[in-house]
Structure 1
Amino acid sequence: MTATETALDRYITFMGRAAHDTALLDDLSSIFAVDATVAMGTPEVVAGLDAITEFYRGFYAGAGDSKHFWTTTVLDDGTLKAHFIVAGRNPDGSLMARSGIEHATVNDDGLITSLTVTFTGALDN
């Protein structure tokens, strides 16, 4: 965890917990604005809190145990950027790792309005 908590830090922490307790996904309104968008390493954009919630339900349906590490920077324009790595074990016992960069914009209420994830590396065995 970083010394200063931003909305992006809250998101990454929340998602790390949701991997172990998917019931937490019912509270994504504490992280995302109602009209937020998420682009998770693909050109497709998930728009709106309900669609985002369903997206993460599907994302975590086949997830195993994992651990996130990251550093967050507040850019000059007020947007947030986090470099991250996540490593874990898939439900079948195989190992996985991902690295990437997340960019987020945040509204005045401290909720994410736009999240873009770009994966920069992967390991699956």
Structure 2
Amino acid sequence: MQLTPVDSASGGAPLPAGLTEDGSGQSLWRSIVDDYTLRPDELRLLADACELADRIDYRKQRADELHREVGENLLIRGSTRQLVRNPLIDEARQELAEQRKDRIALNDLLARLKLPDLDPDRDGDDQGRDGASSGAKRSASA
């Protein structure tokens, strides 16, 4: 993969619509487009990854809310006054399971971008091949 410096005055690609304001998705987008120039297909993958990052945050927040709501009430009274397991426990567990799936999908999308490492101190095949400083904007496209 050849890395090429690009004009940093271009400002990078604009944020995709629908990302959470100041959320993980926007942060991920900025962190990548500030350092790399991506092809349109790579921008689409990154946009999907950013949406997943926001969804992961939402699911974690929702699971935390459910755990707070359950509190000490692991058992509640059912319709015939019998003790039953609090259904919010299963809902929180489902949110966490979906969050794990989303994390796997996010990792897969980011891996498909095949971004080279910008840290010159880190061991890797992409380090130092282009001779540019680690702060220079680079192209992820071959």
Larger RCO, structures 1/2 (Cα 8 Å, 6+ apart): 2
Higher strand share: 1
Q: TM-score, normalised by structure 1?
A: 0.29
Task: State the structure with more CA Rg.
Answer: 2
